[in-house]
Amino acid sequence: MLNNGELERNCPQTYKNIKSNIRYLNQLLLIAMDNVSNEKMTDEDENALFFASTRYICKLMGMNENNIKVKNAIFTVSTNSTVTRNIELPVLKSKSETMSMIKNELGQLMPVDLNQYKLIYKKTDSTDTDGAEFGKYIVYGLPNSMYEQYIELAERLKLVLLALDLSYNCLDKIAEKKLSINGSNLKSGTASAFIEINYGSITFSVVNSGKNDFSRTYSNGLSDIVKSFGAVFNLSNEEALNEIEKLSFFEKYESISDTAK
């Protein structure tokens, strides 16, 4: 989408920002992959845990540290360590009452200690039964240990953490903010599938009537794709990544470039 002109037509400012920084983004990804691969800095889900100072990153990338200014942060988490449940409960007025009701219900359904999880919930639909409103809720439980690591990371980097949420919950914003994809809005009453490819995982999500109501994360990601591609065509990680970036879902390729032959 970056090279076929679509992003430039629909989101010119975003295209300009990405294009002007793509070299640094590629370098940063390679630095992270090299460090993670060498030091095996991953959690139990093979998510990359790559920590480095701004000075170290700038030195490797040939950038001036004084030009990097950080303040606010929003963390989106991709992991398969969450517990997820779909439940239907009466709609209450306050969020605190709703959370208490959800905890009581989950306590009867799940053989886990809910005190070990940070719970996030959202209502995807509502129905009227005998004059009473019931809501369909999706409840996610993020391990406290993981939640606390992100809080600590923000503190260590001196960032103001504005929000922390699961990455696939951001898909709800597409319909809420009336965003377009490939020049088209999501059609009402239809389901759309999304695939998020991260370093150590791939997440498959379904948005139904504007709400993400199904997501699954698998422990295979970009690192596996790069390694497999490199093994097949006898390429280094950097060469394999460069070749993968040239691929497009909108075009058919009969062969890869001369570099990989």
Residue spans of alpha helices (H) in 157-260 = 172-176, 222-233, 237-246
Q: Smallest Cα–Cα separation from 242: which of 25, 1, 59, 37?
A: 25
According to the model, what pLDDT value does residue 150 have?
A: 87
According to the model, what pLDDT value does residue 101 have?
A: 93
Indicate the residue type of 20: S
According to the model, what pLDDT value does residue 81 have?
A: 82
Q: Which two tokens stand for residue 186?
A: 């999501």
According to the model, what pLDDT value does residue 54 have?
A: 60
- Catalogue all structural domains in the chain, each as residue range(s) with its CATH number: 83-143 (3.30.1490.300)
According to the model, what pLDDT value does residue 134 have?
A: 92
According to the model, what pLDDT value does residue 27 have?
A: 72
According to the model, what pLDDT value does residue 41 have?
A: 47
Do residues 243 and 259 make contact, with C-beta atoms less than 8 angstroms apart? yes
Residue ranges in the chain modelled with pLDDT below 70: 1-7, 10-11, 24-25, 28-70, 248-261
Number of Cβ within 10 Å of residue 139's Cβ equals 24
Which residues on adjacent β-strands are paired with residue 88? 136
State the pairing for strand pair 160-166/72-77. Answer: parallel
